[in-house]
Amino acid sequence: MPTLDENLNRLDAREPIADPVIRVRVVNVNIPFFQMVWLLLKLAIAAIPAAILFFMLAGLVGAAIATLMGGAFSGMFNGFHWI
């Protein structure tokens, strides 16, 4: 199997191609089961603060839009009663 340096040298020696996109297809990922579990656990833990920040930002944007609307919808449920 060629080394990384050999592959890079081979790519540098080639003539430039018109389309610079190199298509790659991954056919196999060899990772032990418990390392995959650990990786997904860390991903789940990292998603918690990200979700909190996202919902705080969405709340601020919603509050700003509601403030800019200036009560345009304040009378929408004026005649609505539960009983």
Print the domain residue range for 42: 31-68
Q: Is residue 46 part of a domain?
A: yes
Q: Is residue 53 part of a domain?
A: yes
Q: How many domains does the chain have?
A: 1
Q: Is residue 42 part of a domain?
A: yes
Look up tokens 């789940």; give the residue: 44
SS3 47: helix
pLDDT tens by residue, the chain, 83 residues: 778 888 788 777 666 666 677 788 889 889 999 999 999 999 999 999 999 999 999 999 988 888 877 766 666 666 666 66
Q: Is residue 48 part of a domain?
A: yes
CA distance 56 to 48: 12
Q: Is residue 38 part of a domain?
A: yes
Q: Which amino acid is at 11?
A: L
CA distance 10 to 4: 10
Q: Is residue 49 part of a domain?
A: yes
CA distance 77 to 75: 6
Q: Is residue 74 part of a domain?
A: no
pTM for the structure as a whole: 0.48
Q: Is residue 76 part of a domain?
A: no
